[in-house]
Amino acid sequence: MLRYLFLLFVTLVAANKCPYQFEGIPYTRKSMLTIKGLPTNLAYNSINNDLYFTLIDIDSLQNDNEQTKMDQYILRDGKPIKIDNIHGQAAAVDTNNGTVYIASDDGLNILNSTDHANFISLKDEDIVQIFKPIHKNELYVVVFPENEVYKLNVEKNEKRKVAYVPCAFILAVDHHDNIYYECDSKYVKVLLKDFSEPVEFVGIAKNNARAMAVDMIGRVILAANDGIYHLRPDNIIPKKLMNLDFVPSAIAFDNKVGTMYLATNGIIYEYSVADAKTCV
Query: pLDDT tens-digit profile of 164-202?
Result: 999 999 999 999 999 999 998 789 999 999 999 999 999
CA atoms within 13 A on the CB side of 20: 19
pLDDT number for residue 17? 67
Q: What is the pLDDT of residue 221?
A: 98
Reference 42, options 219, 191, 214, 187; nearest CA is 214
For the segment 67-81, what is each residue's pLDDT rounded down to a tens digit?
Answer: 788 999 999 999 999
Whether 5 shows a pLDDT value over 50: the answer reads no
Domain boundaries along the sequence of the chain: 2-273
Rounded CA separation 197/216 (Å): 28
Residues 207 and 223: beta-carbon distance below 8 Å: no
Give residue 66's pLDDT band: very low, low, confident or very high (50, 70, 90).
confident
Q: How far is C-alpha 237 from the chain's CA centre?
A: 21
Q: What is the pTM of this model?
A: 0.90
Strands in 209-214's sheet, in edge-to-edge order, are 209-214, 220-224, 227-232, 235-243
Q: How confident is the model at residue 274 (pLDDT cuts 50, 70, 90)?
A: confident
Mean pLDDT of 247-270: 94
CATH topology of domain 2-273: Neuraminidase (2.120.10)
pLDDT score, position 16: 53
pLDDT at position 15 is 46
Are the CB atoms for 162 and 179 separated by under 8 Å? yes
